[in-house]
């Protein structure tokens, strides 16, 4: 068999990925410094707000003893955030990831420098005054903003700016949690909308650079180190699946609560600037009855993983955190979702784990954390690896995975969109989270082209095109164009219906040949090219048809392709995926399509 030198490859990545990777490493380092500054600022504001001291020592609002005055502090923080959003930028509202999605999908990956400054300030203020959020959402938006600004300083395409924006987001998350692999997976599952080396490689470099720089600044991981649990049997994995299904129900309820409160606030006859104040007041009220709901709650998460929060304590934490977090987020304040999901999922797992005959409440808290995060964000791979990198408990990986998949099963069947994409949809935009290979990228032109095409010999009189007995008559009327070929079969031009009608209107001699009336300029494409190449050429040149030529030649015609041919092929591929048929024969009779 003759060896075929196929010019097509597995990937389209070129050498620009090297320059992008170098830029991404710089962005990863910048994101780590920004993350360090954000965590420092949260600690400073927490100390000022709840302890009246100027310090950056690690502490939590739950350790304060302010009594009823604790209600006022989150409300004051909400008021300041409302003012910042109204007179600064309303892009600081929310938990950051939907805003990053909008910048990627609709804003050509451009983020305003103002957002890069105001987002971490508002988030630090929100969390430092007791907001029940995590720092990951804000740092994703802030790191992405710095990545976008860095990219805007160079001559880059929109796709390349997107890569640097996501590199900044992944670097920021890796710096906050010390989870470099999960940060890359988060980028793939939520932000990149593609799985290509051109974007994956730079994002990975940024995440790893941030993880390396994190060690001297914030210390090594894992941040929630726990005792290692034994592997689960098939029975234990079954219980993990049930917990995942329950977490999926909880994920759906949380999503509905957040947007239920978001729908409720516009009914209040006040400008949206005042909504974070109201949300902050309810946060303070919840913190008065259960101080554990205030702030990021990393200490509480660690206690859940160690099995120290059980029974009524776990139940009250789950209910209070759910209401306070969803109400505050629905008010439009600034804060993240990951840490709260970990806490609520951990409380659910601890509750269920008390009645399960295998494992410990601490282990089931870990499974519940992953399942709640995976179902709510619909990012199961991220949730599994994220939980593992937080704890380094490798033996629980199978339980984490089956729980996350079960949780996602519930949410994808119950809700059309996730807690992250619902906000984007409410602003009038649609996005899909399903990644699939575009058939235009894998099918070749010779698979879809028309081989039984009409031609016009170069000496054909123009009037013959209107003769029903002319062999190319039907083709010319249906496709509105005919390739002109010489005796050797070499294509030398194209004649269109426009050429024919123009000749009639100008009163020209219809005995002229089609080559004289037509055009010697025509566009070709090789039969071994992918269909995507034909689509791009048709659209870019704004033409209706292409002459398909044999590989390595410029004029040996072997087929014809036009816009309707492409659409017919796309319909055929669509039917292959969605048309359900039975082909198995019973009793000699083939079953009919269902």
Phi-psi region of 130 (alpha: psi -120 to 50; beta: other; left: phi over 0): left
Q: Which strand (E) or helix (H) includes residue 216?
A: helix 197-218
For residue 490, what is the DSSP state? B
C-alpha distances in angstroms, 469 versus 362, 465, 472, 519, 524?
84, 9, 8, 24, 28
133 pLDDT more than 70: yes
Q: 3-class DSSP state for residue 481?
A: strand
pTM of the model: 0.81
C-alpha distances in angstroms, 103 versus 119, 382, 490?
14, 22, 50
- Confidence tier at 93 by pLDDT (50, 70, 90): confident
Instruction: Quote the pLDDT of residue 396.
Output: 93
d(CA 216, CA 571): 56
Instruction: Quote the pLDDT of residue 594.
Output: 45
- Per-residue DSSP letters for 87-116? HT-GGGSB-SHHHHHHHHHHSTT---HHHH
Angle at 176 between CA 304 and CA 330, to 5 degrees: 70
pLDDT digits 0-9 by tens, 535-544: 898 888 888 8
Interval 174-181 mean pLDDT:
90
pLDDT digits 0-9 by tens, 295-327: 888 888 989 999 898 888 999 999 999 999 899
Strands 524-526 and 545-549: parallel
Most confident among 1-5, 150-154, 484-488, 551-555 (mean pLDDT): 484-488
C-alpha distances in angstroms, 21 versus 24, 124, 150, 158, 206?
5, 30, 13, 16, 8
Interval 1-10 mean pLDDT:
58
Most confident among 104-118, 314-328, 459-473 (mean pLDDT): 314-328
225 pLDDT more than 50: yes
- Confidence tier at 1 by pLDDT (50, 70, 90): very low
Interval 456-479 mean pLDDT:
84
Strands 491-496 and 481-485: antiparallel
Interval 191-206 mean pLDDT:
87
- Torsion angles phi and psi, residue 585, rounded to 5: -95, 135
* All domains of the chain in start order, with CATH: 16-218 (1.10.3080.10), 234-426 (1.10.3080.10), 439-578 (3.10.580.10)
Neighbours of 195 (CB within 10 A): 11
Place of tokens 């009037």: 463
Burial grade of 149 (CB within 10 A; 0-12, 13-18, 19 or more): buried
Interval 20-32 mean pLDDT:
92
Lowest model confidence (mean pLDDT) among 177-186, 229-238, 507-516: 507-516
Most confident among 69-78, 382-391, 473-482 (mean pLDDT): 382-391
| Closest CA relative to residue 181, chosen from 437, 397, 501, 441 | 397
pLDDT digits 0-9 by tens, 393-435: 899 999 999 999 999 999 999 998 888 777 777 777 777 777 7
The 3-state secondary structure of 384-411, one letter per residue: HHHHHHHHCCHHHHHHHHHHHHHHHHHH
Instruction: Quote the pLDDT of residue 3.
Output: 47
367 alpha-carbon distance from chain centroid: 24
Instruction: Quote the pLDDT of residue 249.
Output: 96
Place of tokens 């910042």: 84
pLDDT digits 0-9 by tens, 563-572: 888 888 888 8
Sign of the alpha-carbon dihedral angle for 32, 37, 42, 47: positive
Interval 21-25 mean pLDDT:
93
């Amino acid at each position: 068999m003759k060896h075929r030198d196929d010019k097509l490859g597995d990937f389209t990545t070129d050498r620009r990925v090297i320059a992008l990777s170098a830029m991404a490493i710089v962005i990863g380092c910048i994101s780590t410094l920004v993350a360090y500054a954000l965590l420092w600022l949260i600690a400073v504001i927490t100390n000022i707000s709840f302890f009246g001291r100027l310090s950056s020592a690690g502490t939590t609002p739950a350790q304060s003893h302010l009594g009823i005055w604790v209600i006022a502090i989150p409300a004051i923080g909400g008021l300041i955030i409302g003012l910042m959003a109204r007179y600064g930028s309303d892009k600081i509202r929310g938990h950051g990831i939907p805003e990053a999605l909008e910048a990627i999908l609709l804003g050509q990956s451009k983020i305003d420098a103002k957002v890069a400054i105001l987002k971490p300030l508002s988030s630090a203020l929100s969390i430092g005054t007791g907001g029940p959020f995590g720092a990951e959402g804000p740092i994703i938006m802030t790191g992405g903003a710095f990545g976008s600004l860095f990219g805007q300083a160079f001559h880059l395409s929109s796709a390349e700016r997107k890569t640097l924006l996501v590199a900044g987001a992944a670097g920021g998350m890796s710096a906050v949690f010390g989870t470099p692999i999960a940060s890359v997976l988060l980028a793939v599952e939520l932000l990149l909308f593609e799985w290509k080396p051109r974007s994956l490689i730079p994002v990975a470099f940024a995440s790893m650079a941030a993880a390396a720089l994190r060690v001297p600044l914030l210390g090594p991981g894992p941040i929630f180190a726990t005792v290692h649990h034994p592997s689960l049997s098939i029975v234990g994995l079954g219980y993990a699946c049930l917990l995942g299904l329950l977490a999926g129900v909880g994920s759906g309820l949380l999503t509905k609560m957040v947007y239920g409160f978001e729908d409720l606030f516009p009914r209040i006859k006040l400008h949206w600037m005042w909504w974070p104040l109201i949300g902050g007041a309810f946060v303070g009220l919840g913190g008065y009855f259960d101080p554990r709901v205030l702030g990021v709650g990393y200490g509480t998460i660690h206690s859940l993983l160690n099995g120290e929060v059980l029974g009524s304590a776990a139940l009250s934490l789950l209910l209070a955190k759910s209401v306070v977090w969803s109400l505050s987020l629905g008010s439009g304040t600034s804060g993240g979702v990951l840490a709260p999901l970990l806490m609520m999922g951990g409380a659910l797992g601890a509750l269920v784990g008390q009645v399960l005959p295998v494992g410990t409440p601490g282990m089931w808290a870990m499974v519940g954390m992953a399942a709640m995060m995976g179902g709510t964000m619909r990012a199961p791979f991220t949730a599994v690896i994220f939980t593992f990198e937080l704890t380094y408990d490798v033996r629980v990986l199978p339980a984490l995975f089956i729980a996350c998949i079960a949780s996602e099963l519930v949410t994808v069947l119950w809700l059309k969109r996730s807690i992250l994409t619902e906000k984007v949809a409410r602003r009038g935009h649609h996005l899909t989270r399903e990644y699939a290979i575009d058939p235009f990228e894998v099918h070749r032109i010779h698979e879809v082209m028309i081989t039984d095409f009409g031609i016009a010999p170069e000496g054909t009189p123009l009037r013959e095109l209107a003769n029903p007995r002319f062999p190319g008559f039907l083709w010319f009327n249906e496709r509105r164009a005919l390739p002109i070929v010489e005796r050797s079969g070499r294509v030398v031009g194209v004649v269109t219906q426009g050429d024919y009608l123009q000749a009639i209107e100008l009163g020209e001699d219809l005995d002229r040949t089609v080559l004289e009336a037509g055009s010697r300029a025509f566009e070709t494409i090789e039969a071994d090219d992918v269909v995507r190449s034909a689509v791009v050429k048709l659209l870019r040149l704004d033409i209706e048809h292409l002459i398909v030529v044999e590989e390595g030649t410029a004029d040996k015609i072997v087929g014809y392709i036009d816009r309707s041919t492409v659409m017919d092929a796309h319909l055929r591929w669509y039917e292959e995926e969605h048309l359900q048929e039975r082909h198995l024969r019973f009793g000699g009779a083939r079953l009919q399509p269902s």
